[in-house]
Structure 1
Amino acid sequence: MDVDLGKLFFCGFDDFNEEAREVIQKYRPAGVLIYPGVLSKEYLFLDFMNFLSRNGRFIVSSDHEGGQLEVLKYVPSFPGNLAAGKVDPVFTGRYCEMAGRIMNTLGFNMVFAPVLDLLSEKGSAVVDLRSFGSDPEVVASHGMEACMGYFKGGVIPCIKHFPGHGKTADDSHYLLPTVNASFEELWREDLLPFRRIFQSRVKTAVMTAHVKYPAVDDLPATLSKKLITEVLREKLNFKGLVLSDAMEMKAISENFSVEEAVRFFIEAGGNMILLDNFRDLPVYYESLKKLIEDGSIERGKVERSIKIVDEYLSALENRFNSGLIAEVAERAIECTRMRKELLGREVVLLVPSNKNLSPADTTGDDYDLIPEVAKRFFKVRDVIRYDIEAGPDDVDGELIFDFVVNASKNEQVLQAHLSLPSDRTIYFIIRNPFDAKFFPGRSVVITHSTKPISVYKSFQHLLGRCS
């Protein structure tokens, strides 16, 4: 069973690097939550999706709700749930289907949405525009349409935050909030949207709230057997996937140890532990393993959770996604032999000026990202921008990366590139592959593309990290 314990974790990734690769390959978390740190760098996102497609099945999610919380630049910005709650729910369904189709095409198969929390006059800014409104019936109607829309679009919705975060003025990111409402009030109001969606039998997952409801239990909902097993599982008859909210949030992390949080959540009937930071996975994984070994957590509960996760994994679409773009970039690269010992040295980058070469050309902006990409792999001593129509000036350095654009079409430019020290320069032919024949006997990389993902993959190739 130990080999499957990773399936009980959903990990957030704010970067995609060698550390992230190693964590995924060693611990095999079933859930991957991609944050803006990756999404804002398209080349990283594309490579991450390609990596995931090569390494098995994963539940891949984002926090993109539309409105107050938007992280995917590919999905058109939306007025948000509060505005949607003022119009016909059909618009919510249409937006969520559209957003879901885009997410699915990119490679996502789950979204941590919609929010079913009710808007309260004394509520916290953590809810605000994320709520469809104060009326439980309105929230239920829009929540239902959102779930059906996402599912039609190809992603599984994860409704949140059970049993409701709207009645507290506090934010569980910073402290443990309390909702002083009776269970009857919760049932009539906050739980109504959840009840309606469960009755519809549309496939969803549920995320718990790091909020305490003293009328039900002294433990926050995420750790409460009364709320997860007795209310969610038994009273509401939900048989699907239950996720925690991020365990590093202060509502949990400042009030419970790692072992307590893991033990209470799994024993309460939860299935997947959400971690905001993938670097925390080893600690939580080892805690779970230890708790199982010493009998603090029933093996039967763990086995049931793994079975539920497997059911969701098997239901996900297995299709090509945006990772194929990284695959094309990687397969297109050609290299000549080069001295690998050079690659440990400081690098001087010779980067073309931002200039399009034709009205049918938008590649100029690509050059601006070369330094950012290079700094992920090498220690860059200097970045020198040169005029495409004049070529680079003489430059000295332990190692020079020269990015060449149409040099063979201008003798002056070609000679400027050839004047660089041949034993310390690697030429990246990023536009015209015919340029390569003018650099015989020199270290040359042909990317067949100016795109950042192609430059990124060429660096990986140099370092032996491509398959």
Structure 2
Amino acid sequence: MGPVMLDVQSTSLSQEDKEIIQHPLVGGLILFTRNYQSPEQIADLNQQIRVAAKKPMLIAVDHEGGRVQRFRDGFSLIPAMGKLWKMSDANLDLAKELAKQSAILMALEVQAVGIDISFAPVLDINNISDVIGDRSFHQQPQYVTELAEAFINGLHQVGMKATGKHFPGHGSVKADSHVDLPIDTRSKAEIFQQDLVPFQQLIAKQKVDALMPAHVIFPDVDSQAVGFSRYWLQDILREKLGFNGVIFSDDLSMQGAASAGGYVERAEAAQDAGCDMLLLCNNRDGCVDVLDNANISNLSISSERLKTLLKKDNNHWSSLKSNTSWQHASQYLKTYK
């Protein structure tokens, strides 16, 4: 599987889309709201993608719940993870069950239209970041860990792999990496004792299958943004924390990635730092530039890691509502809304 994950423009494939999907460096595709009209249409689009690719293709979406849910009309509305604590009246066991059932409901619906993974859960701490906010489970690291573990257990129960983000934590810096380059000036000790805790604990429990680093610079740790830092990704994540799963770059078109240079330089720097798959979204010219000119490779170790994220089931949307796990999760969440 190639190391580039890109996007397509509309609700069906153009000829250019079909050609670019077949490029040997392309191994994944991410979907957005603009690609969606109905469950049946998105299922058909995903089938078109797999037929056009003529090779294994990892299809992903950001479908966390709350304000980050790409498909709505026809899909169950998943609550923001930060709302679960209030929904449960601060009852940890109940909040964990809500997290688990949210994950089951989301994963079953996303898989039923032909998608492999949703980029979830968010492991950031809800501190001062507006872009994170209620996407985070809680303000306390230990509660983030426990609720995220329950969510991951729900994903795994129905066959979806978990992607934790945004390593080592985006919640304690104000700037939004979509439009800015956040710089978190706290000490290394504070970062490791606070934001890193959920990542560290869930990696130790072998719960996290993939991770996405933050486009954030932590000057007391390294001068480079995390997704371009061999120190963060190799020395800390791989060696110190013992993480053996997939590392996705966050979207290389975001302003927070501009510190590495143009699109070609960003892609090269991200793979050199240790990212297995490079996300290039919402900029077709930049993506083509990378495919034509970047010195990046199909690495066998990355390809083998990526293949583990492909869904194994053949569930279809037409039979989803007869699935007992879907029925239970749907009813359970309605009870607490």
Q: TM-score, normalising length from structure 1?
A: 0.61
User: Where does residue 34 of structure 2 map in the other structure?
Assistant: 37
Matching residue's letter, 1:239: N
Q: Are 2:18 and 2:49, in contact at CA under 8 Å, matched by a contact in 1? A: no
Matched, 1:282 2:288: yes
2 CA distance for matches of 1:23 and 1:321? 28
Q: Structure 1's 105 and 135: CA in aligned 2 closer, same or farther, altered over 3 A?
A: same
Determine the C-alpha separation between the residues in 2 that align with 1:139 and 1:251. Answer: 25
Within the alignment, does 1:249 sit opposite 2:254 as a pair?
yes
1:65 aligns with 2:64: yes
**Relative to 1, partners in 2 of residues 1:108 and 1:46: Cα closer, same or farther, differing over 3 Å?**
closer
Structure 2 unaligned segments of length 5 or more: list them: 89-94, 320-337
Partner of 2:91: none
2:125 aligned partner: 118
For residue 196 of structure 1, report the CA deviation from its aligned partner: 1.5
Instruction: Please say if residues 210 and 245 of structure 1, whose CA atoms lie closer than 8 Å, have aligned partners that are also in contact.
Output: yes
* Residues 147 and 204, structure 1, Cα contact 8 Å, conserved in 2: no
What CA distance in whole angstroms lies between the structure 1 residues aligned with 2:132 and 2:66?
Answer: 12
- Paired amino acid for 1:68: R
- Relative to structure 1, the CA distance from residue 318 to residue 141 in structure 2 (aligned partners, 3 Å threshold; closer, same or farther) is closer
Change (3 A) 1:101 1:203: same
Q: Who is 1:212 aligned against?
A: 217
Q: Give 1:99 deviation, angstroms.
A: 1.3
Give, in angstroms, the shift of residue 154 of structure 1.
Answer: 2.2
SS at 2:242 equivalent: coil
Structure 1: segments with no counterpart, 5+ residues: 293-301, 326-467
Which aligned pairs between 1:128-277 and structure 2 lie closer than 5 A? 128-253=133-258, 256-277=261-282
The structural deviation recorded for 1:217 is 0.8
Determine the C-alpha separation between the residues in 1 that align with 2:195 and 2:208. Answer: 20
- 1:243: how far off? 0.6
Moved >6 Å (runs of 4+): none
- Per-residue CA deviation, residues 358-391 of structure 1 (Å, 9 max, x unaligned), is xxxxxxxxxxxxxxxxxxxxxxxxxxxxxxxxxx
Q: Which has the larger radius of gyration?
A: 1
**Which amino acid is the alignment partner of residue 65 of structure 1?**
E
2:88 maps to 1:94:
no
Is 1:308 the counterpart of 2:302 in the alignment? yes
CA deviation after TM superposition for structure 1 residue 140, in Å:
0.7
Per the TM alignment, residue 187 of structure 1 is displaced from its structure 2 partner at its CA by 1.3
Per-residue Cα deviation, 1:8-39 (whole angstroms, up to 9, x for no partner): 01112342322211211234621111111111
- Secondary structure of the residue that 2:23 maps to in structure 1? helix
Equivalence for 1:107: 114
Please give the secondary structure, in 2, of the residue aligned with 1:270: coil
- What is residue 49 of structure 1 aligned with on the other side? 46
* Maintained 8 Å contact 1:85/1:139: no
Cα deviation, residue 47, structure 1: 2.8
Residue aligning to 1:10 = 5
Preserved CA contact (<8 Å) 1:81 1:129: yes
Q: Distance in 2 between matches of 1:101 and 1:218?
A: 41
The one-character-per-residue Cα deviations of 1:313-347 (angstroms, maximum 9, x if unpaired) are 2563344465999xxxxxxxxxxxxxxxxxxxxxx
Matched residue type, 1:25: Q
Q: TM-score, normalised by structure 2?
A: 0.84
Question: Kindly, what percent of the aligned residue pairs are identical?
Answer: 25
| Aligned equivalents of 2:312, 2:287: Cα separation in 1 | 26
Q: Is the 8 A contact 1:262 1:287 kept in 2?
A: no
Q: CA RMSD in A?
A: 2.3
Amino acid at match of 2:114: G
Conserved? CA contact 1:132–1:139, under 8 Å: yes
